[in-house]
Amino acid sequence: MDYTNIRTFGELKNAGYTPKTIKEELRQNLVAKIRQGETVFEGVHGYEDTVIPELERAILSKHNINLLGLRGQAKTRLARLMVNLLDEYIPVVDGSEINDDPHHPISRYAVELLREKGDDTPIGWLHRSERFAEKLATPDVTVADLIGDVDPIKAANLRLSYADDRVIHFGMIPRANRSIFVINELPDLQARIQVALFNILQEGDIQIRGFKLRLPLDVQFVFTANPEDYTNRGSIVTPLKDRIGSQILTHYPTSVAVAKTITAQEADLEAGQKEQIYVPELAREILEQISFEARNSEYIDTKSGVSARMSITAFQNLLSTAELRMLRNGEASTTVRFSDFMGIVPAITGKVELVYEGEQEGAALVAVQLIEGAIKTLFSTLFPKIEKLEKENERYPYDEIVRWFSDSDGIELPDELTDADYRQALDQAEPIRKLIQQYQPETKPEDIYFLSEFVLWGLTLYNKLSKYRVGSGLQFQDNFQGYLRNI
């Protein structure tokens, strides 16, 4: 039933409106969505069997929630999506600073207005989009910011003494009454500020400059925290943690397929990039595999995490690198190449925290090693495994390719080659095409050249061929020629 045309408290009572707490709203609307088979947390991937069921149980239990996980694990997004579980509109006493429920007023303003006007008390309607407040916990956050303080200007304007509670200026939490209130990075909040939250969570009391007000606030608290913060910057004080009903552990995507879905959804691309630049599916898989390699790298601080944002920004850089080459060559369209992956190095170096050994190697070199590690990991899933020790007089799948390179000058691939010259350069090595036809016969025609270059990179990483930088491009040769070049 649509109640939003109601304008007075009397009309609201006559219409039979039943007030609910915010936790009851969330619970009832969640139950309804589940029964109707609706997706509750739209756009969150990889949590279907882990985080989301735990979050749903917490909502059904009417708990305050702490989402604990490393950076880039969609903690804030989950909190924001909870707004969709609120009723579309709720009634508030018109003019109330803290969204007073006319059936259960808690502020002095609302209590006095209802006493004075009774059923004629004016009612306003608050949309669910306005019932979300968020605060990033930083060391400079004060009790006044969150809870409130005495306002001397208000006291002067209203000619009130500081003994009158009408001089109080309410902070963010009272103003988020009947709303979802999120505190991000909770351990960064000073311990004394966390202590100020105790009674709000449990008893509904707030204390402001000597005023002890009984304000049973109706707030759904959602906290987010990074496990790294517990040792580096602060911690959640034990009594506050005790008052948080459910602590839910988030995690990174567990498969490349899920990671690809997230990147495709989140990457903000220009329409021209989508239309003019073709991205082979293998390029997307390599891009996501880089994050998996980073999370297992000895050079990267795994406790700090590798955010899903790294893949998103790397994908944007990948397309921008291909686009730049296309524009310089005056072409109308192009396909992502392996040389374009060098353009994602800045997106990697800015997103990972290196340990001491990584600092010694250098951020850019570590980034290149991650790219090569992703190629090496995926190579063995598409083509026959390359044995470290090969027996004499036995044939191996890569013999023809190696022989072709030993009988030729190799292949040179400058970064800025036109598409026609790029294809012509790779077409020289006919044995590569035969290998793809044998082991990846379902390859789409538009993916052949990217897969051909993938074979070249894979063979160099397994020491079957040599690869080195020549000017602004790469030269692929057999190992003997590479050896001669280095002596």
Work out the number of other CB atoms within 10 angstroms of the CB of residue 333: 12
3-class SS at 134? strand
Token pair 């209203």 is found at 158
3-class SS at 167? helix
In 299-430, where do the E strands start and end? 334-335, 411-414
In 87-144, where do the E strands start and end? 89-93, 123-127, 132-136
**Using alpha carbons only, what angle is made at residue 342 by residues 434 and 443, rounded to the nearest 5 degrees?**
25
The answer to whether the beta carbons of residues 74 and 47 sit under 8 Å apart is yes
Cα atoms in the Cβ-side hemisphere of radius 13 Å centred on 74: 22
For residue 310, what are the contacts with CB-CB under 8 A and spacing of at least 6? Answer: 72, 290, 291, 294, 347, 348, 351, 352
Region of residue 43 (phi > 0: left; psi between -120 and 50: alpha; otherwise: beta): left
Q: What's the confidence (pLDDT) of residue 161?
A: 63
Q: What's the confidence (pLDDT) of residue 468?
A: 86
**Using alpha carbons only, what angle is made at residue 7 by residues 126 and 165, rounded to the nearest 5 degrees?**
65
Torsions phi, psi for 474 (to 5 deg): -120, 145
Joined tokens for residue 312? 């998103």
Joined tokens for residue 327? 């524009």
* Stated length of the chain: 487
DSSP assignment of 308-342 equals THHHHHHHHHHHHHHHHHHHHTT-S-EE--GGGGG
Q: What's the confidence (pLDDT) of residue 231?
A: 47
Q: What's the confidence (pLDDT) of residue 470?
A: 83
Q: What's the confidence (pLDDT) of residue 386?
A: 85
Strand partners, 221: 181
The answer to whether the beta carbons of residues 410 and 481 sit under 8 Å apart is yes
For the chain, 487 residues long, give each residue's pLDDT as a single digit of tens.
Answer: 677 889 999 999 999 899 999 999 999 999 999 999 999 999 999 999 999 999 999 999 999 999 999 988 999 999 999 999 999 999 999 999 999 999 999 888 899 999 999 999 999 999 999 999 999 988 888 888 888 777 767 666 666 665 566 677 788 998 999 999 999 989 888 888 888 888 777 766 666 666 666 778 899 999 999 886 554 456 888 888 888 999 999 999 999 999 999 999 998 888 888 899 999 999 999 999 999 999 999 999 888 889 889 999 999 999 999 999 999 999 999 999 999 999 999 999 988 999 988 899 899 999 999 999 999 999 999 999 887 766 666 778 899 999 999 999 899 999 999 999 999 999 999 999 999 999 999 999 999 999 999 999 999 999 999 998 887 889 999 886 554 555 4
The answer to whether the beta carbons of residues 299 and 366 sit under 8 Å apart is yes
Q: What's the confidence (pLDDT) of residue 312?
A: 94
- Residue 404, amino acid: W
Joined tokens for residue 388? 């470290």
Joined tokens for residue 67? 């989402």
**Using alpha carbons only, what angle is made at residue 296 by residues 290 and 298, rounded to the nearest 5 degrees?**
110
For residue 463, what are the contacts with CB-CB under 8 A and spacing of at least 6? Answer: 479
Give the alpha-carbon dihedral of 186, 188, 191, 193, to 10 degrees: -70
Strand partners, 466: 477
The answer to whether the beta carbons of residues 188 and 137 sit under 8 Å apart is yes
- Residue 21 and residue 380: Cα distance in Å, rounded? 56
Give the alpha-carbon dihedral of 110, 112, 113, 119, to 10 degrees: 100
